[in-house]
Amino acid sequence: MYTGLLHLHNLLRWIILILLVVNIVRHFTAANNPFTATDKKLGLFLMIAAHTTLLLGIYQWFAGSWGFQNIQNLGMAVVMKDSVYRFWAIEHLTGTLIGIVLITLGKGVAKRNFPDAVKHKRSAILYLLALVIILAVVPWPFRAGIARPWFPGM
């Protein structure tokens, strides 16, 4: 079960990245257009994917061997001194949480009583910040020690 959830977590990162790019491009290009139901739905799909990934990640952090168990077994001092342990126990979780908070704030802009141009601009900026942070904390295949495959099961 753990492996299947890890693959789903890995697959959802692509959905999040694609939806982030789509939302960013849409909001930057539609700066003077009305904030439509499609804009709201794209933001909602992004937020659902991000929160689902977060729930899967929290489960993996507690149930897997790289998160909480490392801190329990080795101690926080040892975990913080090792870059691989620190990445999985602290950096990946913290960066992803910050990215998901930014996504949630970007989605929440649609509910505010702002002019449409302001909604587009704020959503685009929040989504762009989330994209940068998430790209920084994803375990890409080229990152030594923390690499994960491009696609699940590979």
Between 144 and 99, where is the model more confident? 99
Q: What is the pLDDT of residue 154?
A: 64
> Could you give phi then psi for residue 134, rounded to 5 degrees?
-65, -40
Q: Is the pLDDT of residue 114 over 80?
A: yes
Retrieve residue 47's tokens: 């937020």
Q: 40: Cβ–Cβ under 8 A, 6 or more apart, which residues?
A: 110
**DSSP string for residues in 91-127:** IHHHHHHHHHHHHHHHHHGGGS---HHHHHHHHHHHH
pTM for the complete prediction? 0.92
Q: What angle do CA 92, 97, 81 make, to 5 degrees?
A: 35
Q: Quote the distance between the C-alpha of residue 64 and its chain's center.
A: 19
Position 21, amino acid: V
pLDDT single digits (tens) 59-94: 999 999 889 999 999 999 999 999 999 999 999 999
Mean pLDDT of 88-114: 95
pLDDT single digits (tens) 23-35: 999 999 988 899 9
Question: In whole angstroms, what is the distance from residue 154 CA to residue 149 CA?
Answer: 6
Q: Is the pLDDT of residue 152 over 80?
A: no
Q: Quote the distance between the C-alpha of residue 93 and its chain's center.
A: 9
Average pLDDT score, the chain: 93
Secondary structure of residue 111 in the 3-state scheme:
helix
User: Between the ranges 2-6, 98-102, 147-151, where is the mean pLDDT highest?
Assistant: 98-102
